[in-house]
A and B are shown apart, each in its own frame.
Chain A
Amino acid sequence: MGYLNGFKVTFLKLFEERVTTEYPKEKRPKPARFHGRHVLNRYEDGMEKCIGCELCAGVCPAKCIYVRGADNPETAPVSPGERYGYVYEINYLRCIHCDLCVEACPTEAITESKLFEFSFTNRTDAIYTKAELVVDDEGLPQRQPWELWHDGDDLATSGWMRATASSGNPDYQNQISWSGELGYGVRDPEIGQHLSDVRDEADVSEEQYPSGDSRDQH
């Protein structure tokens, strides 16, 4: 009676554990590299990390970032360098949270928090400016009243130091070349930087996976 086996399967399901997460009431932990709403980070002395280079705006595939840089006022500099982000706007109606801006940023100024539960009642509100994006004096994201923050979400903004050092040299991976305390931790090194690491990870010998391919250039 092969036809009736299915009935047994569905009937036994009645006594199994439910897999539903009752979303608004309970939430599953978000992945470590979750792409949420952006934050603009600052150094521990309060200086903004953004140097107004517009690389994020250039790389953005959705064209949702608008940056205008300006020279730092000599008396009251906003960022350590020559220039700073004078205007910084992200339109969240266009942002696809691809994280390319974070990858492009040479100073780790822009990272993504884990916040995704925010909504707007008009288009103007969807455009976040520096007033909303820059972290507060504690280095934590500002909680806007229309955003639904949960405990721990702001502690885990994806302010990771990149596995590859900003110089691009894997020998310096994991070594923070400038202040990292406003980011929230150091990402574990990814395999694929040094070939020896890859071999160890995959447990293969050098003959099986010889050097000399493009992955091993450093």
Chain B
Amino acid sequence: MTGDPLYLDGVDLVDVGIMAVKVIVAFTFLLVATMFMVWFERKLISDMQNRIGPNVAGPWGLLQTFADGVKFFFKEDLRPENADPLVFRLAPYISAVTAFLSFAVVPIGGSFSGGSSGTVTIFGRETYLQVADPPIGILFLLAMSSIAVYGVMLAGWASGSKYPLIGSVRASAQAISYEAALGMATVVVVVLAGTLSTHGIVAAQSGGFTRWFLVSSGIVPFIVFLIAATAELNRPPFDLVEAEQELVGGFHTEYSSIRFALFFLAEFMNVITMSAIMVTLFFGGPAGPIFFGMTWFWPTIWFLLKVLAFLFVFVWFRATLPRLRYDQLMHLGWKLLIPLILFWLMFISLKELRAAYDWNWVVTYGAAVVALAIGASLLVAALRAGDRAYQEELEEV
């Protein structure tokens, strides 16, 4: 857990060069992946709706996003009269930059199996296949996804228009609500891995399928994370932020041209990043069987395949689920996911503590069950009281 071995023996020009190459490759990869993600989503959702989807620009319509991007560049850049000029211009960049930054800490390759530490050798230097491995690792991801809310919030506020404002208020309320569940699901993984570093988390899952945190944390944190991540990404069925039937386009209603494209880019980039994070946290990152010796090649392929599977799932959600009502969204977040993951977090922590300090397991789990029962009954009572108050309020109206 000492960070990237690239910096162990001081930093010279070669290290800087490797670093620059990694940044450029990651940046390009993310941009191209986003481009194809948009295509993939449009194609897949049309497949799920008996349609054909984009098929004119390039083979199978692959260049559709590129064509759209070029078109955005040449569109007129409008700014509403009431908009705050500085913040209005700033907001899309906050969204896009945070979306780029969060991908930096995701390990996208390197063999972790058989005792190897996930390093690859480039120009005679050992390094991790990720742009950065800060000790705070996963906290950086949470911080970035929180700052991304500012992009949405400021965009809505600075537009000087009512629908974007309502959209952005919804967005921030939703993101804050679900970030609690998202964060706690992450903490479960952190407790199990014993480290915040994303590289460390992947290393802790090496050694076969059963070591993946999907299995060893019990499947619940993953499901909570998946639902919370969907809400955090403002994707269907939680896309109230841009509920076009109610809010025109949501927070980016007033945006046009390349500024709108930046929001669009950030949105899809976040989908890819969030899929990559889920792979990192619960599916062992680049872990997978390695065939005929190309140790640097297969992990990246496995990683990409896993990410692709999640992208499929996100599109599948969109094709299947109708949008939640706002109170249902809040109900699911606060009354279901947060208590559930809170209980799960305490249970996992207790399990780890018992193993570490060798406590008597009857006493430990007995106390845990009693505590959980008390907590659950209090929670149920509170929910019932809340419902009663709500019903009385309805009757008064």
Please give the residue numbers on chain A whose beta carbons come within 8 Å of chain B beta carbons, in ascending order: 6-7, 9-11, 13-14, 16-20, 22
Are A13 and B50 in contact, with the CB atoms below 8 A? yes
The docked-state distance in angstroms from the alpha carbon of A18 to that of B319 is 16
- Between-chain CB contacts (< 8 Å), 24 pairs: A6-B320, A7-B316, A7-B320, A10-B48, A10-B319, A10-B320, A11-B48, A13-B47, A13-B49, A13-B50, A13-B319, A14-B48, A16-B50, A17-B50, A18-B50, A18-B51, A18-B52, A19-B50, A19-B51, A20-B50, A20-B51, A20-B52, A22-B52, A22-B55
The docked-state distance in angstroms from the alpha carbon of A17 to that of B47 is 9
User: A4's closest neighbor in chain B, by CB?
Assistant: B320
The docked-state distance in angstroms from the alpha carbon of A22 to that of B320 is 25
B13 within 8 A of A: no
Given A9-B320, A10-B319, A11-B48, 5 more pairs with CB closer than 8 A? A7-B320, A13-B50, A13-B319, A19-B51, A20-B52
Name, among A10, A11, A16, the residue most crowded by chain B CB atoms within 10 Å (CB to CB).
Answer: A10
The docked-state distance in angstroms from the alpha carbon of A4 to that of B265 is 30
Are A10 and B50 in contact, with the CB atoms below 8 A? no
Residue among A6, A7, A9, A14 making CB contact with B47, cutoff 8 Å:
A14
B397 within 8 A of A: no
The docked-state distance in angstroms from the alpha carbon of A14 to that of B316 is 11
Least Cβ–Cβ distance between A13 and chain B, in angstroms: 5
B321 within 8 A of A: yes
The docked-state distance in angstroms from the alpha carbon of A9 to that of B316 is 11
User: A17's closest neighbor in chain B, by CB?
Assistant: B50
Chain B residues near A16 (CB-CB < 8 A): 50
**Nearest 5 interchain pairs by C-beta:** A20-B52, A10-B319, A6-B320, A10-B320, A10-B48
User: A20's closest neighbor in chain B, by CB?
Assistant: B52
The docked-state distance in angstroms from the alpha carbon of A22 to that of B52 is 9
A-facing mask of B304-344, CB < 8 A → 1, else 0? Answer: 00000000000010011100000000000000000000000
Chain A residues near B321 (CB-CB < 8 A): 6
In residues 25-49 of chain B, which contact A (Cβ within 8 Å)? Answer: 47-49
Chain A residues near B50 (CB-CB < 8 A): 13, 16-20
Chain A residues near B320 (CB-CB < 8 A): 6-7, 9-10
Least Cβ–Cβ distance between A18 and chain B, in angstroms: 5
Name, among B48, B49, B50, B320, the residue most crowded by chain A CB atoms within 10 Å (CB to CB).
Answer: B320
User: B50's closest neighbor in chain A, by CB?
Assistant: A19
Name, among A6, A9, A13, the residue most crowded by chain B CB atoms within 10 Å (CB to CB).
Answer: A13
The docked-state distance in angstroms from the alpha carbon of A6 to that of B236 is 14
The docked-state distance in angstroms from the alpha carbon of A14 to that of B49 is 8
User: B44's closest neighbor in chain A, by CB?
Assistant: A14
Chain A residues near B49 (CB-CB < 8 A): 13
Chain B residues near A13 (CB-CB < 8 A): 47-50, 319
User: A8's closest neighbor in chain B, by CB?
Assistant: B320
In residues 206-241 of chain B, which contact A (Cβ within 8 Å)? Answer: none
